[in-house]
Copies of this chain bind each other. A is one copy, B any other.
Amino acid sequence: MIPSESSGFFFFTPTMTSDLRFKYNADGLVPAIVQDATTKRVLMMAWMNESSIRSTIDTGLMHYWSRSRQKYWLKGETSGHTQKVVRWYVDCDADTLLFEVEQTGGACHTGHQSCFFQELDRTGSPIAVSEEKVFDPEATYHSK
């Protein structure tokens, strides 16, 4: 009857809590594979902890845990290149997540659409990258 109580109940039901009990690693993290919802191109892989999963659910925008910076990270916070969740999946042993997203701009800090822009040949040597960048990383990350 009171909206705030109702809202609070929604967020703290035992069902919801247990649903996020994925198989986290020793650091409390699960890998998240991120794929373009339309083209199905794999855009990136990053790590999430339970709180970043919660933020992703609450906002509909991908949030990660940065292992190098030891902090939460709203993808697109600096660049504006957010990722809107369309669908998500957990794998058979509950230790990896897959998100299908609508990617604004490009996913990669290098300016490429996908972090997997570097194809390798049969021996493991890099193949010349022919695809164009979708944004200028200098202008995006270092402009005043």
Contacts and interface: CB of A to CB of B under 8 A. Distances in A.
Interface of A: 15-16, 19-20, 31, 33, 35, 39-42, 44-45, 53, 57, 87-93, 96, 98, 108-110, 112, 115-120, 122-126
A20 B124 contact: yes
Interface centre among A89, A93, A118 (most CB of B within 10 A): A89
Given A33-B42, A87-B119, A15 B125 contact: yes
A16 B109 CA distance: 27
6 contacts: A15-B125, A45-B91, A87-B119, A92-B108, A96-B115, A98-B116
Copy tally for this chain in the complex stands at: 2
A126 B91 contact: no
A16 B124 contact: yes
A115 to B, nearest CB: 4
B42 A120 contact: no
A15 to B, nearest CB: 7
A53 B53 CA distance: 31
